[in-house]
């Protein structure tokens, strides 16, 4: 689908890109530009939210914003024009009443049918699948976009841009588009806000990608070390994603009801949970375990030079304990193929971590977590948490999970009965870690205790297998030296 059109007056219209994955709409969360603003090729102009994640859209040309077609908060169908830019070089005159300035209650214009492409255009765009950040790119995405000044048909230029710039300006092999520095749109926006020229920044990311840290380092001659999250108190569960501040108490003096539209990530989550709850037969088992030794090990690891700068907390060792339990009981790592009536055993573990964000619950996963060392696992967990807090988790990061951990203990909750993430075989809920009276070596002593709850799909996992996975996880947390003897 074409994402931009141009008329004779030099006005180019940018359409909501094809998000792929069966998604057909996205909500405009925030405009970063207004009518009359000058925009440049690759500049992020708005943030949108699909049913999978929030992403930022860059504009594929230079010009002056002539019109914003929809206000913030509007859900727009794929293919609808969302912004018009004057690329003629003149000064654009603001419309008398731009759509974005009208009351949000004004309904959006009806979706226009997509124009039928000419045979030549169809041949050019064959195999192209323009998508949003994180959805992957088509084969044609490995082509470089011609440098400025080259004569390229508008259709071909747009095709190359949709498969590269919207993907974070990287092609399938990590090559730079048009020779510009490698950086994702959020990093480019950060550099713009700090007044940093990306061409002068030394990249430290994989394949020469400029990271946020690189931009901050360029902005400050002597940057302070990257802040490390403050350790959680020993008697509390690890904090992954801080919950939102509680909303103020409702006033009973005004309206008796408030209706909140369910859309985006929250709507997708609700649909998935209903499907999971009424498709997979859930079984949940519980175990209460003394994790005092694990908590001591956490404190020791924080002082270990090999773990310096990494996120070290109880969740790290809980994740490692579950991975060890899965290694000892590999049949638990599977999925159900309804169409073929088969159990698909997975020989890899993509470990999901449920995270509460301002836009709702998301479950990104660590790919091939079973192959990672403890420092590598800590690094992956830290990146996952930081990305989730910023609301920048990509759809790709939330796909392909096999087993999930959800930490309800951050809310002071002892335990729960978690619902399986669709397509996964098991989910482990971790309760609050508290000092409790416990019989230790024949005497009642205060010990660090938590309750684990494992829900599993009874089509895939019978009671004996589920019980063994839960028991092994608890055993590692009770005696963390088993991380060595059982690994």
**DSSP-assigned letters across all residues of 426-476:** EEEEE---EEEEEEETTEEEEEEEEEEEEEEETTT--HHHHHHHHHHHHHH
DSSP state of 330: G
Decide the pairing of beta strands 355-357 and 282-290: unpaired
- The single residue listed with the structure tokens 């959020």 is 186
Comparing C-alpha atoms, which of 166, 185, 135 is closest to residue 396?
A: 135
8 A C-beta contact, residue 356 and residue 243: yes
Residue 221: partners with Cβ closer than 8 Å, 6 or more residues away: none
Distance CA(177)–CA(184), nearest Å, equals 12
Comparing C-alpha atoms, which of 228, 204, 187 is closest to residue 312?
A: 228
8 A C-beta contact, residue 438 and residue 446: yes
Handedness of CA 14, 18, 24, 28 (dihedral sign): negative
How many other CB atoms are there within 10 angstroms of residue 93's CB atom? 11
Instruction: Spell out the alpha helix ranges (H) of 117-196.
Output: 119-125, 154-162, 185-194
For residue 267, give Cα distances in angstroms to 50, 52, 253, 358. 10, 10, 30, 14
> Which residues are the active-site residues?
458
Residue 149: partners with Cβ closer than 8 Å, 6 or more residues away: none
Q: What angle do CA 323, 328, 331 make, to 5 degrees?
A: 90
How many other CB atoms are there within 10 angstroms of residue 391's CB atom? 18
Comparing C-alpha atoms, which of 146, 201, 199, 137 is closest to residue 170?
A: 137
**DSSP-assigned letters across all residues of 195-214:** T--GGGPPP-SGGGPPPHHH
**DSSP-assigned letters across all residues of 303-327:** T-GGGTTS--SHHHHHHHHHHHHHH
DSSP state of 139: G
Distance CA(176)–CA(171), nearest Å, equals 7
Handedness of CA 440, 445, 448, 449 (dihedral sign): positive
């Amino acid at each position: 689908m074409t994402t931009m059109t141009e008329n004779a007056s030099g006005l180019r219209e940018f359409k909501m890109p094809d998000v792929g994955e069966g998604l057909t709409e996205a909500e405009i969360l925030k405009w970063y530009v207004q009518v009359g603003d000058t925009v440049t090729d690759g500049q992020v102009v708005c943030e949108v939210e699909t049913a999978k994640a929030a992403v930022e859209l860059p504009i594929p040309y230079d010009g002056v914003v002539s019109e914003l077609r929809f206000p913030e908060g509007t859900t727009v169908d794929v293919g609808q024009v969302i912004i018009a830019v004057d690329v003629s070089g003149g000064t654009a005159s603001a419309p008398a009443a731009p759509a974005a300035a009208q009351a949000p209650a004004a309904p959006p214009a009806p979706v226009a049918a997509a124009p039928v492409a000419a045979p030549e255009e169809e041949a050019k765009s064959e195999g192209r699948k323009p998508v949003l950040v994180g959805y992957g790119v088509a084969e044609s995405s490995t082509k470089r976009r011609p440098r400025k000044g080259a004569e390229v048909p508008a259709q071909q230029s747009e095709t190359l841009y949709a498969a590269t710039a919207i993907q974070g300006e990287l092609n399938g092999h990590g090559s730079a588009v048009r020779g510009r520095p490698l950086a994702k749109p959020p990093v480019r926006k950060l550099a713009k806000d700090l007044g940093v020229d990306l061409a002068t920044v030394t990249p430290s990311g994989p394949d020469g990608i400029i990271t946020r840290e690189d931009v901050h380092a360029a902005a400050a001659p002597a940057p302070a070390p990257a802040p490390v999250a403050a350790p959680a108190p020993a008697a509390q569960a690890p904090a992954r994603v801080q919950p939102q501040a509680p909303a103020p108490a409702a006033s009973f003096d005004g309206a008796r009801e408030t209706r909140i539209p369910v859309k985006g990530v929250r709507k997708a989550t609700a649909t998935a949970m209903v499907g999971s709850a009424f498709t997979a037969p859930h079984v949940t088992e519980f175990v209460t375990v003394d994790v005092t030794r694990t908590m001591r090990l956490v404190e020791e690891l924080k002082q270990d030079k090999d773990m310096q700068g990494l996120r070290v907390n109880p969740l790290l060792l809980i994740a490692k304990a579950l991975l060890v339990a899965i290694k000892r009981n590999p049949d638990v790592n599977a999925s159900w193929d309804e169409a073929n009536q088969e159990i698909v055993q997975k020989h890899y573990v993509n470990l999901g971590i449920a995270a509460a964000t301002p836009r709702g619950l998301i479950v990104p996963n660590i790919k091939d977590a079973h192959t990672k060392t403890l420092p590598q696992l800590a690094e992956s967990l830290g990146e996952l948490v930081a990305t989730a807090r910023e609301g920048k988790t990509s759809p790709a990061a939330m796909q392909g999970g096999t087993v999930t951990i959800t930490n309800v203990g951050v809310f002071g909750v002892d335990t729960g009965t978690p619902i399986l993430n669709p397509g996964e075989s098991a989910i482990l809920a971790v309760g609050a870690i508290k000092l409790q009276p416990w019989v230790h070596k024949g005497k009642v002593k205060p010990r660090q205790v938590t309750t684990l709850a494992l829900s599993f799909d009874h089509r895939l996992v019978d009671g004996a297998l589920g019980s063994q996975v839960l028991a092994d996880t608890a055993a590692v947390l009770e005696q963390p030296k088993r991380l060595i003897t059982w690994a």
